Amino acid sequence: MSKQRTKLVVGNWKMHGRLADNAVLLEAVAQGAGALPANVRVGVCVPSPYLAQTQALLDGSRVEWGVQDVSAYTHGAYTGEVAAPMALDFGSRLAIVGHSERRAYHRESAELVAVKTQRVLEAGLTPIVCVGETLEEREAGKTQQVVGVQLDTVLAKLSAQESARIIVAYEPIWAIGTGKSATAQQAQDVHAFLRARLAAKSAAAADVALLYGGSVKPDNAEELFRQPDIDGGLIGGASLKDKDFLAICKAAGAVGALSVKQ
């Protein structure tokens, strides 16, 4: 069971955004985050071209920011790539690696995701390592096998201390952008499994934040976040609407407050 009482909610904008729209959204999120209880951390991972704007608008606020992917290299002749140190130059603290869309559309292997995780850590950022199974894999009873390999491949490249510096996001592929969400119990079961794998790596790693992602909305967020091994969410579509995103953050705060009282 997670010992953490702080909840973390991170928005993943994916390939969305324009300067004018970003300004409205970021200013609303920054203002809303300021009214959240102290037990909630808030972050947004934006398209890299908007890092400068994000830094300018969020600097000094409670909202952390970061990127949705990084290169496996720190520099060199890799046209179009964005290195982790470049993201750091713009005040980034977070970097998503291994999102299912990267694994599927860009054929990223578990080994490549592990290398990218190393690059993120070396740059001083916090990697959000995504794992998840397809509907076919779940129906075949292979969920633990699939997410276990995805996570273990990353952990194999990390020291015990490094493994305690990551965040893990469970995103069932069949629930991403489909409107379907894993039930709270289904999500909890996978999170508990992932927690055990992390604990096998090191005692400190057992307490890393485990986020759930997959059609999280204001009306199901509180039930999901109430689960003992779900420490928050990686939010896709709902993060593009300030009212929805902040409602999810408030749900995290309400659950966190309950856990403190208990």
Residues 6+ apart with CB under 8 A from 22: 46, 50, 53, 54, 57
Tokens read off for 247: 């409602």
pLDDT, greater one: 2 or 240: 240
Mean pLDDT, residues 175-203 taken together:
91
pLDDT digits (tens, 9 = 90+) for 98-149: 999 999 999 999 999 999 999 999 999 999 999 999 999 999 999 999 999 9
User: Which is nearest to 233 in space by CA: 158, 250, 135, 17?
Assistant: 250
Distance CA 16, CA 65 (A): 15
Say what the pLDDT of residue 257 is: 57
Average pLDDT, the chain: 94
Say what the pLDDT of residue 104 is: 94
Say what the pLDDT of residue 12 is: 98
Question: Could you confirm whether 99 is annotated as catalytic?
Answer: yes
pLDDT digits (tens, 9 = 90+) for 23-66: 999 999 999 999 999 999 999 999 999 999 999 999 999 999 99
> What are the structural domain ranges in the chain?
29-261
Tell me: pLDDT of 181 over 80.
no
**In degrees to the nearest 10, what's the CA dihedral of 229, 99, 48, 56?**
-10
Name the band, by pLDDT with cuts 50, 70 and 90, for residue 2.
very low
Catalytic residue selected from 99, 133, 162, 222: 99
Arch. (CATH architecture) of 29-261: Alpha-Beta Barrel (3.20)
Tell me: pLDDT of 238 over 50.
yes
Distance CA 99, CA 260 (A): 32
Q: E-assigned strands of the chain?
A: 7-12, 40-45, 63-67, 94-97, 126-131, 167-170, 210-212, 232-235
Question: Could you confirm whether 106 is annotated as catalytic?
Answer: no
pTM: 0.95
Say what the pLDDT of residue 60 is: 97
Specify whether the CB–CB gap between 158 and 99 falls below 8 A.
Answer: no
Specify whether the CB–CB gap between 239 and 11 falls below 8 A.
Answer: yes
Distance CA 32, CA 20 (A): 19
Specify whether the CB–CB gap between 167 and 213 falls below 8 A.
Answer: no
pLDDT, greater one: 235 or 214: 235
pLDDT digits (tens, 9 = 90+) for 56-81: 999 999 999 999 999 999 999 999 99
Catalytic residue selected from 64, 101, 171, 222: 171
Mean pLDDT, residues 2-15 taken together:
84
Tell me: pLDDT of 1 over 50.
no
